[in-house]
């Protein structure tokens, strides 16, 4: 049974890492293209792939790939932080501010919009 479990883990881990790789690439594309729906989809895919990777033992030769995927995730995090700063800047200039810089577990902000006159009528 141990030989069978080892065979299964050696064949499923690359698939799980491939799924994570695809999700991270989709996340990057969504961030670069400012595609919110694609970003939400890729985030769900990434979390699902991460759960799959974490549920399986990693092969000994997977460490370099895991490090590369970790770097890709960090790069996406930098892009996401940049997008957040851009949105915050735009909202601030439109007279809307966020009370807090974080979202709750449901992805909702607790900020309340503030009205601002943008022109003279």
**Structural domain harbouring 67:** 2-93
Whether residue 119 is contained in a domain is answered as no
Does residue 117 belong to any structural domain of this protein? no
Q: Decide if 110 is inside a domain.
A: no
Confidence category of residue 1, pLDDT binned at 50, 70, 90 = very low
CB distance 39 to 77 below 8 Å: no
Could you tell me which residues come within 8 angstroms of residue 55 by beta carbon, excluding any fewer than 6 positions away?
none
Domain count within the chain? 1
The reply to whether 19 falls in a domain is yes
Q: Which of 68, 53, 45 is nearest to 9 (CA)?
A: 53
In a domain, 48, yes or no: yes
Mean pLDDT value across residues 40-59: 93
The two tokens of residue 94 are 């439109």
- Domain for residue 11, yes or no? yes
Whether the per-residue pLDDT at 93 is higher than 60: the answer is yes
CB burial string 52-79: b at 16+ within 10 A, e below: bbeebebbeebeebeeebeebbeebeee
């Amino acid at each position: 049974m141990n030989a069978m479990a080892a065979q299964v883990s050696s064949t499923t881990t690359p698939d799980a890492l491939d799924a994570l790789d695809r999700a991270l690439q989709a996340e990057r594309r969504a961030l670069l293209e400012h595609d919110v729906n694609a970003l939400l989809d890729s985030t769900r895919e990434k979390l699902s792939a991460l759960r799959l990777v974490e549920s399986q033992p990693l092969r000994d030769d997977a460490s370099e790939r895991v490090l590369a995927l970790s770097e890709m995730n960090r790069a996406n995090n930098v892009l996401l932080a940049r997008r957040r700063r851009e949105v915050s800047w735009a909202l601030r200039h439109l007279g809307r501010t966020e009370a807090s810089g974080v979202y709750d577990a449901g992805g909702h902000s607790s900020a309340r919009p503030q009205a601002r006159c943008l022109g003279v009528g």
